[in-house]
Amino acid sequence: MSLYGTLRTSVSGMNAQSSKLGTISDNIANSSTTGYKKASTEFSSLIVDSGISEYNSGSVNTKIAYGVSEQGTTNNTTSNTDLMVSGDGFFVVQDTSGQTVLTRAGNFTVDASTGNLVNAAGYTLMAYDISGGQDPSVVVNGTGGLVPVNIGSVTLSAVPTTSGSITANLPSSSTVVAAASLPSTNAATAAYTQKSSVSTYDSLGNQVTLDVYLTKTVAADATASPPTVDTWEMAVYNQADATTGGTTSFPYSSAALATQTLKFDSSGQITSGTSTSFAIPGGSTVKLDTSKVTQLATSYSISATMNGSPPSAASSVKVNSDGTVYAVDGNGNTTNLYKIPLATVQSPDNLTPVAGNAYQVNQNSGALQLGFGGDAGFGSIKSNALENSTVDMASELTEMIVAQRDYTANSKVFQTGTELLDVLMSLKR
């Protein structure tokens, strides 16, 4: 066996253990880094052709592997913008130069200068803009259509009234009002049985108060030909159009927004006129449910539930498991803003690591595929949670001791080979 071969083999062994100590050092240093995937040094032997009677030592090769597909444990947090991928997938992020990479580090915060969600490494989270109510147009094998998630510009929002319901009881003993004097005539002499007001909101968030008149028009009479049932008229006016001064709001400057005939059976349950639709000035069409109105022998009562709200500052931003980012205003209304996709590759362990705990797609990893949390082949997104590093400190310290011993053993081989060469060189003297 060549003494020079012995020296070269022991040197390769020391270099291999140095690489192993390097990965151990990185792992220990990043044991608290969010989403970090531990690195490992794998060894393989390099054999040199040998004869029958003489052995030529080879060397050891190293390959650095990354356990990118390994799932880290969950670290629950109090921040809504802390995100974690549970299962397969990566966040699509972008660096300051516009290059797109992948990461599992979801410790995002709002950048003060741009309003974008940026993680600790400075990467900006990318997603599809759905603030206009549209479905995201997903490019399944590319990042086209993705924009930075910007929540710094979420300020005020107004929700117009589009639906509501009235629950009321109309006294069965009420007196019938003549047709010529009904509120629907909008005459100065109009009379009514009951009146209440309801608040709604237009498209700009302005409050629009509606005057709701409920007036009995027909009393039930089984002996009449044909028989009659208890009938009421509901008339809805814009309070802003009412006459000011005097003892009555009539006549309004505009006609009724809606009129509806309500009919009741002998049990006081409504049988006709269970819903109506009308447009609010400056707002949307409102569908009003009146199916819970009754006519019973008790006093008048009414309650109304209407959706919509005035402008209100966004109080928080939240993220669903499918990646939908939505704002919640002070009135509890939600507005969809973005939808965060997840990216997968066929072989995540072969992705190319880059600075900032991120990865680039390469030929060995396979092509990029995009989808959403919960889709087949993709994990889910957890808000108020971060993925811990996959480093096990006890294992790393154990591996460090083994690498130290192996390095020392290789150095002893090198020292022995050097001493034998000295003996060989001394034979000449």
Mean pLDDT of 77-92: 95
Question: Which residues contact residue 355 at a Cβ distance below 8 angstroms, ignoring those fewer than 6 apart?
Answer: 121
- pLDDT of amino acid 4: 80
Strand partners, 390: none
Least confident segment among 88-97, 331-340, 344-353, 380-389? 331-340
Task: Give the tokens for residue 247.
Answer: 């003892």
Give the 3-state secondary structure of residue 240.
Answer: helix
Tens of pLDDT, residues 253-295: 999 999 999 999 999 999 999 999 999 999 889 999 999 999 9
Amino acid at 190: A
Tens of pLDDT, residues 68-82: 999 999 999 999 999
pLDDT band at 127 (very low <50, low <70, confident <90, very high): very high
Break the chain into its structural domains and give their ranges: 3-67+390-426, 74-157+313-387, 161-307
Question: 226: cis peptide before it, omega within 30°?
Answer: yes
- pLDDT of amino acid 392: 94
C-alpha to C-alpha distance for 350 and 347, rounded to whole angstroms: 6
- pLDDT of amino acid 328: 86
First to last CA, the chain: 23
- pLDDT of amino acid 334: 81
Say if residue 1's pLDDT is above 60: no
What does each C-alpha distance from 249 to 36, 188, 189, 221 come to in angstroms? Answer: 70, 8, 10, 32
Report the topology of domain 161-307: Tick-borne Encephalitis virus Glycoprotein; domain 1 (2.60.98)
Mean pLDDT of 342-358: 95
CB 295 within 8 A of CB 170: yes
C-alpha to C-alpha distance for 71 and 75, rounded to whole angstroms: 12
Mean pLDDT of 182-195: 96
- pLDDT of amino acid 29: 95
Counting beta carbons within 10 angstroms of the beta carbon of residue 259, is it exposed (0 to 12), middle (13 to 18) or buried (19 or more)? middle
- pLDDT of amino acid 53: 66
Give the 3-state secondary structure of residue 298.
Answer: coil
- pLDDT of amino acid 52: 66
Instruction: Give the residue among 154, 153, 148, 86 at the shortest CA–CA distance from 123.
Output: 148
Question: 310: cis peptide before it, omega within 30°?
Answer: no
Mean pLDDT of 171-200: 96
What does each C-alpha distance from 120 to 22, 108, 321, 353, 356 come to in angstroms? Answer: 24, 7, 22, 16, 8
Say if residue 47's pLDDT is above 80: no
Tens of pLDDT, residues 315-334: 788 999 999 999 888 777 78
Alpha helices in 153-294 (DSSP H): none
- pLDDT of amino acid 170: 98
Say if residue 49's pLDDT is above 70: no
- For tokens 């309801």, the residue is 198
Mean pLDDT of 349-358: 94
- pLDDT of amino acid 32: 93
- pLDDT of amino acid 235: 98
